Amino acid sequence: GAAVMLSMGASQVVAQPNNGGQGGGGGRQGRGNFDPAQMQQRMMERYKQVLEVTDDAEWKAMQPLVQKVMDLRRESFSGRGRGIMARGHRGGGNAQPSDQGQQRRGAVTGTPNPDADALQKAVDLKASKADLKTAMDKYAAARKTKQAALEQAQEELRKVLTSRQEAIAMLNGLL
């Protein structure tokens, strides 16, 4: 899931350099001008087009439900796949906790995950078996809660979609 989000983000960044007449030289120019709200707006426009919504009133009812699913999906990925990205090396040796992993995770998911951070800290500090179990249980419970919220939002969205739109939404990762 995180890989999909990274590739989506990378394709958006690659497509941006000519916007606003900046970044014509390629490379990393224009990256400092990344606007999450603008990217979100483009994603909403894309979903409107992909779901074949032509009526503005229909989209006005559907858009907040699509947005909610997108937000909850992003939150449900928060903290997953963090080991390699957060540490940049294999375990063993002298694993030192750092803020660098959290900064990377924030760039991918947009929101910090305190339960994932607590579990990572327990792993980094080589916590006792009991402390690890407590942290794992909290992390698992938080994931279940987020997954349940996502499933509820998907059901709410499903209610306003036609069968064709539902199929399209499934193929595009909304359902």
Average pLDDT over the chain, rounded to an integer: 76
Structure-block tokens of residue 39: 């990217």
Residue 56 has phi, psi (to 5 degrees) of: -60, -35
Mean pLDDT, rounded, for 50-54: 94
Mean pLDDT, rounded, for 154-165: 95
Structure-block tokens of residue 95: 């694993």
Element (H, E) at 105: helix 100-109
Mean pLDDT, rounded, for 29-41: 77
Mean pLDDT, rounded, for 76-94: 53
**Within 10 A of 159 (CB to CB), how many other CB atoms are there?**
8
Q: Which amino acid is at 57?
A: A
pLDDT, residue 7, reads 47
Decide if pLDDT at 64 tops 60. Answer: yes
pLDDT, residue 110, reads 55
pLDDT, residue 82, reads 52
Mean pLDDT, rounded, for 52-58: 93
**Cα 171 to Cα 47, 103, 143, 149, 167, distances in angstroms:** 12, 31, 23, 20, 6
Closest CA to 111 of 71, 147, 145: 71
Mean pLDDT, rounded, for 38-47: 92
Decide if pLDDT at 142 tops 80. Answer: yes
* SS3 state of residue 91: coil
Tell me, letter by letter, the H, E, C secondary structure of 13-74. Answer: HHHCCCHHHCCCCCCCCCHHHCCHHHHHHHHHHHHHHHCCCCCHHHHHHHHHHHHHHHHHHH
Segment 93-138, tens digit of pLDDT? 444 444 444 443 444 445 678 888 999 999 999 999 999 999 999 9
pLDDT, residue 37, reads 87
Confidence of residue 35 (pLDDT cuts 50, 70, 90): confident
pLDDT, residue 30, reads 53
